[in-house]
Structure 1
Amino acid sequence: MESLDIEQLKGMSNFEVAALFLENSEKNTMHNTPINVGRGNPNWINTRARLAFNKIAEFGIGESAKTIDEADGDMAGYVEKEGIAQRLHDYLDANDKTDKFILDFLAYTENNMHLNQDDLVHEFVDGAIGNHYPVPSRSLVNVEKILNKYLEVSLYNGEKLADHTNVFPTEGGTAAMVYLFNELKISHILEAGDTIAINTPIFTPYLQIPELSEFKLKELDVSSVEDNNWQMLDAKFEELKDPSVKAFFVVNPTNPTSRAFSQHALDKIKEVVAANPEIIIITDDVYGTFVNNFQTIYSVAPKNTLLVYSYSKLYGATGHRLGLIAAHEDNVFDEIIAKRTAENAAIKEEFEKRYSLVVANPLDMKFIDRTVADSREIGLYHTAGLSTPQQVLMALFSLTNLIHEGEKDPYIEASKKVVDVRYNTFWKSMGIEGDHSAEKAEYYTVFNIYELAEKKYGKNFRDYFENNFSYLEFEGELAGKYGVVAMDGAGMGTEEGYLRVSLANQPAENYTITGKRIAELLAEYYDKFQQK
């Protein structure tokens, strides 16, 4: 095992620390098969949408050959829209599982969403083939309607916002984050020196990006605490009511602690926006579908909130990079831009010059459309937007859920069961009862190694362990000796000593092994304590 400088590790991103630990785990001294429970990449995929995508692309290639067929079939042409829905129906076999799904979602989109079927099928077929730029740049027309409906059914808990929400599909949730931080700066919604509140613990980049020199934002830590079931205390919501707090960033359910905001917390958010009406909220809800009856902050404060969502975790699509930004058509972001423009002639001139390159009325350009344009540095706005195959696949993932509207989606229920089994397996191997509170997502679990030491061996051992050994030493030895890689929680804003275990990326039996290896290493430290 390579020796590691603990102080140097504390200054690094926890993801980079985990990468170093992974290298050491692969040559662990006990010659164990390495187990990486540090990363959140799921080890399952949704097959139905992928097979449907392939079938639609195959159908589209056949359609394209009807207009041009050259080079012994290697060159085909374009797709004719008129009558294409009926031709797809004729092409499909209702006795085939994939074909039946396509027929089912066509029926749903016609009967429940009232979408023109030739328009929809042509958009899907042309989009799957991918031979045209995305038009409109922000989102394909029917894709946006489907994504909006999916968000409403899956995340809004009964609130009807689909018809009043604009969606910008992005290259995963990570691109959504980058685009939003940049746009908040470009639009003068956030300025250098502004105070932003961050609900910690949180996905590490939300802590790192605001500190970069190009943003220079001041961070206010409004933490959730374990003693309150990883919920924010009321006093923290009071801090958000201060008008000097310009923004509030949250991952909901949280990462690493896997807790959704409670109903009490959502009610407090309503109080915050009433008291601080210009506060902007970004909520990243990638884990929302893993919580029963989940409700997003966007649904209780839509005017002030930008919703970020990714299909990566639920549908096993991290490699596809499928995410989105959603904004209400009546939003505070546009209002702040209008206010800045009216109050500052230099900003008005800046906006007019910048956006007149792409629209006739630059001052009327919405925040979310500015985000699209600025994602391609304005000059490439005409080629902006997520690739059409990615957009179609997002819509197909959404439709696997929407065809079950009003009932439980078997795929989502299966995904929750998978992580629940792993969660219970891990904690049973540790000899501890797991937490099953209503807000628990179970995609990750966290524990404090020092608290575990006390539970296992008493307060005196905990004091010895905490005073003589860094939590990173324990994590490093867990990887280098036993071959288990966990994620450091302190890098996400927890107190020192917390480890995050992903319940998404290993078979259930590996969580038994993980728990036993953690217990065995802790027992070794206890032996040192007894011998001192």
Structure 2
Amino acid sequence: MGNVDYSKYAKLSPFELKDELIALAQSRTDRMMLNAGRGNPNFLATVPRRAFFQLGLFAATESEFSFSYMPEGLGGFPRPVALQSRFDQFILENRDKPGVVFLGKVISYVRDQLGLNPDEFLLEMVEGILGCNYPVPDRMLRVSETIIKEYVLREMGVQGLAKNSIDLFAVEGGTAAMAYIFNSLKENKIIEKGDRIAIGTPIFTPYLEIPKLNDYQLEEVFIEADPNLDWQYPESELRKLEDPSIKAFFLVNPSNPPSVKMSDEGLAILADIVKKRPDLIILTDDVYGTFADNFQSIFSICPDNTILVYSFSKYFGATGWRLGVIALSDNNILDKKIAALPKKAKQELEERYSSVTTDPSSMKFIDRMVADSRNVALNHTAGLSTPQQVQMVLFALFDMMDSRQAYRKAVKSVVRERNKTLYRHLGVDAPQDPNSVDYYTLINLEKISRTLYGEEFSTWIMNNKNPTELLFRVAAETGVVLLPGSGFGVMHPSARASLANLNEYQYAAIGDSLRKFADEKFKEYESLNKKKTAK
């Protein structure tokens, strides 16, 4: 470790650097490797999953009824006639099986609380879980979209916006949403090479990396959150958005990795900016919003300017399911920008989408994203797989039907207790902030070294220890894997620890290991000082 050149790792994404750190942490067999580098939760929602599998069994039986005269193993499409009565009988006969009672309540909730046709809902769910049809409509199944709209509007704190005034595109998680949005903004000439876009930092690393790619070549303007303001954006930073040369503002809210939601004051400032800049495009990635208390999305205050991305991956423990949505209002700025393009650009776009519709000029941006996601020519096979959409619906209904919010309270408690445990064993107070979500924590190396051993030691550490080197040494000497804050656009030396993917005793061990590491570095510092004094 002594003569390693750590500068060669500087350009690596923290998620690629993670593999190097893991290799070091696993280099010894006399300890457990503790990987707090990735935000994959180790908790998940079981009831909607049990319901999914039970619904699948019912659907398979329904399919077999259709071609019952044929050899075993061959089925047909489920029959709509009397489907509800057969489902009621299934519920009655299987009430002792976990997940089945929930399915019965789902029908009641959809009918009695959401006012939807239960027969249409059940048929969509049964066909969807069988995966026996292409997704139709390709953007999202009709009843499923209505239910997810209700869920998204509730969770994002949106009031006074009718469900029929927004559109959803069901996508393969938040990562697919990012890829589709960037691509369609480019294809529809809304952003072009050399354009300036603002990025709220710190942020999920791909938001920093994608604009630099040869595909886009965008100029980045950083809107920097201030650690001294509990990671809120200072007004002076937000006011940069008043510059008309900035086409768009991309941010994650609650943030990754500081893990705090934007304050009410920040939201009010942004709303004021949009009044002055009605042309400003905002992309808000709100995957952690469901972990926040009283969350309000930017989409709730600036719906016509905002592209909303929401993923089900973290809150429901469903990273492997790849479930997410993109939401746009009917009156969104993107459609207006396309309508205002020069004649030549419009003609090019009409030619691009002419195989999809006879009136390409009236095609919404969100539908263009659907087509672009399949290179336009394969638009007829676009859309998120129907079983994925069914699981998404069951997740959403599970949360909406939980009047006591038992699951929500449980997952919030899990990450917050882990946070307290890590800092308690590190020997410093855990950061206190009413806007904190605690899905991640940024361990401020400079501040913690100052708190533990004073200003002079902190200065010595910062002057003599490369932050990346510190992370490698922590991995090698303690087996703990953390990600560098610099990879997320953090301006001071820090490490990101996920509070979602290990158990509480393991966070205690991380705190102990980091404290031991700090103690050893302090001894090294004292030894050097003694040698200087002796001279």
Whether these two folds match at TM > 0.5 is yes
CA separation of 1:81/1:2 partners in 2, compared to 1, >3 Å: closer, same or farther?
Answer: farther
Contact 1:151 1:162 in 2 (8 A): no
Match of 1:330? 331
* Aligned positions of 1:155-234 closer than 5 A: 155-156=156-157, 158-234=159-235
Match of 2:532? none
Distance 1:211 1:229 in 2: 29
Q: Which residue type is aligned with residue 48 of structure 2?
A: A
Distance 2:491 2:273 in 1: 26
Name the SS for the 2:238 alignment partner. helix
Match of 1:519? 515
Distance 1:388 1:4 in 2: 50
Q: How far did residue 402 of structure 1 move?
A: 1.3
Match of 1:32? 31
Number of aligned positions between the proteins: 526
Q: How far did residue 4 of structure 1 move?
A: 4.7
In the alignment, structure 1 residue 510 sits paired with structure 2 residue 503? no
In the alignment, structure 1 residue 18 sits paired with structure 2 residue 18? yes
Which of 433-442 and 306-315 deviates more?
Answer: 433-442
In the alignment, structure 1 residue 459 sits paired with structure 2 residue 460? no
CA separation of 1:3/1:356 partners in 2, compared to 1, >3 Å: closer, same or farther?
Answer: farther
Distance 1:206 1:430 in 2: 31
In the alignment, structure 1 residue 288 sits paired with structure 2 residue 286? no
Q: Deviations over 1:231-285 (max 9, x none)?
A: 0001112111121111000100000000101111111111111011110000000
Distance 1:364 1:212 in 2: 30
Match of 1:491? 487
Contact 1:279 1:304 in 2 (8 A): yes
Structure 2: runs of 5 or more not aligned: 529-535
In the alignment, structure 1 residue 437 sits paired with structure 2 residue 415? no
Distance 1:120 1:475 in 2: 51
Match of 2:372? 374
CA separation of 1:430/1:122 partners in 2, compared to 1, >3 Å: closer, same or farther?
Answer: same
Q: Which residue type is aligned with residue 67 of structure 1?
A: S
Q: Deviations over 1:129-171 (max 9, x none)?
A: 1111100000000110111011111112544343311000111
Q: How far did residue 3 of structure 1 move?
A: 7.2
Distance 1:500 1:335 in 2: 40
In the alignment, structure 1 residue 418 sits paired with structure 2 residue 414? yes
Contact 2:200 2:225 in 1 (8 A): yes
Contact 1:159 1:299 in 2 (8 A): no
Distance 1:219 1:114 in 2: 46
Distance 2:42 2:99 in 1: 22
Contact 1:157 1:293 in 2 (8 A): no
| TM-score for both structures, normalised by structure 2 | 0.96
Q: How far did residue 348 of structure 1 move?
A: 1.5
Q: How far did residue 72 of structure 1 move?
A: 4.3
Match of 2:141? 140
Q: Which residue type is aligned with residue 128 of structure 1?
A: I
Match of 2:319? 318
Name the SS for the 1:248 alignment partner. strand
In the alignment, structure 1 residue 529 sits paired with structure 2 residue 525? yes
Match of 1:356? 354
| TM-score for both structures, normalised by structure 1 | 0.97
Structure 1: runs of 5 or more not aligned: none
Match of 1:472 among 468, 471, 482: 468
Match of 2:531? none
Distance 2:265 2:83 in 1: 50
Match of 2:110? 109
Contact 1:18 1:488 in 2 (8 A): no
CA separation of 1:169/1:3 partners in 2, compared to 1, >3 Å: closer, same or farther?
Answer: farther
Contact 1:161 1:299 in 2 (8 A): no
Contact 1:258 1:444 in 2 (8 A): yes
In the alignment, structure 1 residue 60 sits paired with structure 2 residue 27? no
Match of 2:47? 48
Q: Deviations over 1:318-359 (max 9, x none)?
A: 01111110101111000000001xxx2221211111111011
Distance 1:4 1:255 in 2: 29
Q: How far did residue 79 of structure 1 move?
A: 0.6
What is the root-mean-square deviation in Å for CA atoms of aligned residues? 1.4
In the alignment, structure 1 residue 400 sits paired with structure 2 residue 398? yes
Name the SS for the 1:219 alignment partner. strand
Q: Which residue type is aligned with residue 299 of structure 2?
A: Y
Q: Which residue type is aligned with residue 150 of structure 1?
A: Y
* Aligned positions of 1:256-267 closer than 5 A: 256-267=257-268
